[in-house]
Structure 1
Amino acid sequence: MESNDVEEEEFGFSRNYFLAKEVRSSGKKGARKLSQINIVDEQELREACSNIEPKHENEIIILVNSYKNSYSEWVYVLRCGFGLLMYGFGSKKALIEDFASTALTDYSVVVINGYLQTINLKQVAITLAELLWDQLKTQWKGASGNKQQPFNTRSMDDLITFLDGPHSENDDTFVCVIVNNIDGPGLRDSETQQYLARIAACSHIRMVASVDHVNALLLWDKKMVHTQFNWYWFHVPTYAPYKVEGMFFPLILAHNGSGQSVKTASIVLQSLTVNAQKIFKVLADRQLANPDEEGMPFNNLYEECKVLFIASNEITLNSHLTEFKDHELVKTRRNSDNEDCLYIPLTSEALEKLVQEMSQES
């Protein structure tokens, strides 16, 4: 009898629970929609985020400074042929770049920012080859056969072969590659990761990278981890905000307004050379003066830059344009005369604001 009472009580509780859920879901609260959330302007939201007061600053400074005691160990690990993979909560960009600027001064260093949407890995390989060639020329001073190598005409496979070649018996002859966010959107595809692994495996390359995504290990197979990258893992949580890395991603609860596009473009331009900024301004002024045109042909841009003494040859101009395209500051499209034209993918209003900011900073 008692058993039946217990079952009836449990049944009654269950029935009342689901009845209550049904009534609740039919009420006003359940009728609310995500679209009714008040979405703020992205620039306003980012400014609010930047004003959030940090906590435990002193403890974090002490923690990050403690990693500096390991710099000599990290250099030793690199010299032994390993790659360094930094993981842990928080942005590791400042830490890794501080390590490079203070402990790797005897070596050439190339920085890859994986948080950018697109990265020209071929140009990275060309830069690595040129830096390695400069080191080798110093060692071979006075030796025969010391000729300039046209790296920009070589294929990716040829560049990797050169970086892995037996050019020097000195084990300390290498170029260091710093990869901020090796699991970032600009490096996440399988082909790019394969090329990065092949570059890391070269005898004259050492790689230092940071990883942040929880599923980053799915990018690599066993051969890539243990043979090519040859990772030596270091747990270095910094608890630093991902300010720079997050700048290139839209916030969920914000409009993607033109203000943020201007801000992002302005930050990227500040990191480029003065000549690169001048070339961009030439293109921007032309686009603002002729809003109905489909873009500016390369030859026209080159002639104008040559007159202004900004770019002395087409190779220099092309290198700047490659950088613009990598950061999505400039794009290419065909006009009605079937010419490839360069244009800035911003509205006239946003472009005017960007040009004003550039004029104020200069």
Structure 2
Amino acid sequence: MEPNEIEEDEFGFSRNYFLSKEIGNPGKKSAHKLSDIDLVDEQELRDAVAKIEQKHEQEIDDLIKSYKSLYQEWVLELRCGFGLLMYGFGSKRTLLEDFASSALAEYSVIVINGYLQSINLKQVLITLAELMWDLVKTQTNTSSGTLCKHQQPFNTRSMDDLIAFLNTSHIEDDDCFVCVVVHNIAGPGLRDPETQQYLSRLAACPNIRIVASIDQVNALLLWDKKMVHTQFNWYWHHVPTFAPYKVEATFMPLILAQGSSSQSVKTASIVLQSLTPNAQSVFRVLAEHQLAHPDEEGMPTNNLYAICRERFLVSSQVTLNSHLTEFKDHELVKMRRDSDGQDCLYIPIPNEALQKIMQELSQ
């Protein structure tokens, strides 16, 4: 058979196939729905996943040891002004934290968990600014340089002001820097363009170094040429660990699994434990009201402020708003309007799970 005849034969077959689909029964639709799928409990599914035995443990241990032998090279690259970007299959969380705790012990280190659903980047910048200010004060103690005694509180500054402060060369020693470790820099709480711009500007500050991991192939689409080569100044390292994403997966919903109350309690407790005691007390006030008034649509903001002020938990509406912003960022608290048109706050957690959270907070 001639080549042209073969091509015509294949074309005719494909054309007839699509024609048969169009003529067949285009209006017929499947009666199956996603709701018909028998979903398992999320905690049950996670427990089953945790019981899966890891294979090739000896080979993986040897691989991790080979990475540890490179720690001093990585430190040298940071001292030369590079940012380290770790990529490869498997969770790199344990590897980066071991590198930070062992090889970067003489430096100040801040960790950003990019796998969380929401992250308060401004609080990270405030912490960095306070660390940098302490380094400046330590350096000037042995010199006659002038230092402002009444430094403006960093929490009153904007994001741009904080980066401008960090970008000013306060420290003469180029080998003195603060390292920012970012687990999954393309995670759900960091992947928006504005946050990536702030991170790239932060990486360009003279006394800041970033060590980050990426866990998806589309991460490179977040950065342009300037960000990659000038601001982040990445030094790439292929470090596949083949480790499961146990911690990272705790904060991500599983496919084909129903959310359980025990999982909600676990996730909320982890977030609350990371907050200040005052913030926990404000959350407790809201939770107690919700448990005592299960039929109400929520607690009016004015009522929450009055009770917190009476208990000396907040000194102003601004302070309360900062706590509420933290709660909303972590989806612990939401707002809706009641039948009277008032803005009410409520905790989107079943009362049974909320009681367990309160018990854990009291321990």
Distance 2:276 2:55 in 1: 36
Deviating more after overlay: 156-165 vs 313-322: 313-322
Matches within 5 A, 1:152-191: 152-191=155-194
Residue pair 2:297, 2:344 contacting (<8 A) in 1 also = no
Taking the aligned partners of 1:84 and 1:43, their CA distance within structure 2 comes to 35
* Residue 241 of structure 1: aligned partner: 244
Report what 1:299 is aligned to: 305
Summarize the alignment of residues 64-75 of structure 1 with structure 2, pairs less than 5 Å apart.
64-75=64-75
Distance 1:275 1:65 in 2: 43
Cα distance change on mapping 1:101 and 1:300 into 2, 3 Å: farther
Do the aligned partners of 1:283 and 1:296 also contact (CA within 8 Å) in 2? no
Percent of aligned positions that are identical: 65
TM-score by length of 1: 0.82
Hey, what's the Cα distance between the residues in 1 that align with 2:131 and 2:299?
35
Deviations 1:251-295 (A, max 9, x none): 111123444322321233344455554443333223212331522
Which residue of 2 is the match for residue 131 of structure 1?
131
Aligned equivalent of 1:209? 212
The partner residue of 1:283 within 286, 296, 303 is 286
* Corresponding residue SS for 2:112: strand
- Cα distance, 1:125 vs. partner? 1.5
* Change beyond 3 A, Cα 1:250–1:176: same
Of residues 251, 268, 276, the one that matches 2:254 is: 251
The secondary structure found in structure 2 opposite 1:252 is coil
Deviations 1:137-189 (A, max 9, x none): 11112643332232222222221111110212110232211111111111111
Stretches of structure 1 that go unaligned for 5 or more consecutive residues are none
> Counterpart of 1:46?
46
Q: How does 1:5-24 map to 2 (within 5 A)?
A: none
Counterparts of 1:340 and 1:32 in 2: how far apart (Å)? 42
Counterpart residue number, 1:55: 55
Amino acid at match of 1:37: I
Instruction: Indicate conservation of the 8 Å contact 1:114/1:187, yes or no.
Output: yes
Amino acid at match of 1:115: Y
Letter in 1 for 2:162: L
Contact map agreement 2:116 2:187 (CA 8 A) in 1: yes
| Alignment-derived partner of residue 348 in structure 2 | 345
Shift in Å, 1:334: 5.8
Matched, 1:329 2:332: yes
Residue 139 and residue 236 in structure 1: after superposition, are their counterparts in 2 closer, same or farther (change >3 A)? same
Residue 149 of structure 1 aligns to a residue whose secondary structure is: coil
Change (3 A) 1:102 1:305: farther
Indicate the SS of the match to 1:86. strand
Confirm or deny: 8 A CA contact 1:286 1:296 kept in the other structure. no
Aligned residues: 340
List gaps (5 residues or longer) in structure 2: none
1:225-275 CA distances to partner (integer Å, 9 max, x unpaired)?
A: 000000001111111111121122211111234443223212333444555
